[in-house]
Amino acid sequence: MESRIIEIPAGVDAGTHIPVTTIRGAREGPVLALIAGNHGYEYPPILALQKVRGRIDAERLSGTVIMVHVANMPSFLGRTVYFSPVDGKNLNRMYPGRADGTVSERIAFAITREVIEKADCVLDLHCGDGNESLRPYVYQTVTGEAELDERIARLAPAFGIDHIVVDRGRPRDPARSVYCSNTAITRGKPAMTIESGFLGSCDAESVERIVAGIRGVMRELRMVEDGPPPVARPIHLDPVEVLSSPATGILYPLVERDQKVAKGAPLARITDFFGTEVARVTAPFDGVVLYVVATPPITEGQPVACVGAPRTGM
């Protein structure tokens, strides 16, 4: 087991560092990258990797596991939701990054080169950010390339979360991959974004779900012999829509995470700063609330909720 620090030197703004563990197994096998903390206020993935690190037996491992413990150190130590306290950018919109950019772009560049390009499979681990009340789900990206899509489709239920978002909207250009997991996918590697946890909390269930899910994926990739089986009857959500706020003000959620909603049902109301209602956000179709923002600040254009329609007949 090797612990190392990827240094991000100061450039146009302050530098930072990325703690990485590499575990090389006794036998040949794939390289699996596990990335936590692209969003620094999302704690269950970070805590899950602390546990996973101690539970992998290199003698019984086929292949290599690379763990990025905290991708976005400025946001983690600065306790910021979505955006870096240094450059104001969302790290998970900066991939594949730039060597001469601001700190979020330089982090993305280093993770692309030193982790994603060295991996055969990538899991980007997230949860509801500090403002998001979220039920667990994974994103299954569909690219249109049959073989890659088949490999991603096998990965999705292996994580053990029964709600799978079918995601067709990701960029195809490796030079403009935007998202961490999509950086792997645009380079021909199966990858997946995972969501488990909510509202900046560290509940044991959300953490253990990630620990078990990683083990399930390692079993699916034949890196270990034992682990939880894939979900037998996953619920595919298609379509899925993120509803953004039409106004800036104070947000009052009207639903809970995982709540079933009918088309047109109010999801949240937004008032101005004097208490007058200025907008409502409603469900675009019958579905389930994957997440809803559950803290008061809301800015025009930012997400309020995400609703997915369970696909029948699968």
Residue numbers at the binding site for Zn ion (CB under 5 A): 39, 42, 126
Strand (E) or helix (H) holding 216: helix 204-220
Smallest gap, in angstroms, from Cβ of residue 284 to Zn ion? Answer: 22
CB closer to Zn ion, 39 vs 209: 39
The closest alpha carbon to 296, from 136, 130, 90, belongs to: 130
CA distance 208 to 194: 13
Q: Beta strand pairing status for 121-126 and 260-261?
A: unpaired
297 forms beta bridges with 250
Nearer to Zn ion by Cβ, of 56 and 191: the residue is 191
Nearer to Zn ion, 221 or 291 (CB): 291
Q: Determine contact, residues 309/240, Cβ cutoff 8 Å.
A: yes
Nearer to Zn ion, 3 or 299 (CB): 299
Residue with Cβ nearer Zn ion (42 or 220): 42
Question: Would you say 69 or 126 has its CB closer to Zn ion?
Answer: 126
Distance (Å, whole) CA 143 – CA 196: 24
Retrieve residue 220's tokens.
Answer: 């699916």
Min dist CB 124 to Zn ion, Å, is 8
d(C-alpha 258, C-alpha 119), whole Å: 33
Q: How far is the CB of 313 from Zn ion (least distance, A)?
A: 31
In the complex, minimum distance from the CB of residue 215 to Zn ion, in angstroms, rounded to a whole number: 22
For 236, other C-beta atoms within 10 Å of its C-beta total 21
Q: Smallest gap, in angstroms, from Cβ of residue 20 to Zn ion?
A: 19
Q: How far is the CB of 223 from Zn ion (least distance, A)?
A: 25
**88: Cβ contacts below 8 Å, ≥ 6 apart:** none
Which two structure tokens, joined as six digits, stand for 41? Answer: 């206020």
Residues in CB range of 276: below 8 A, 6 or more apart? none
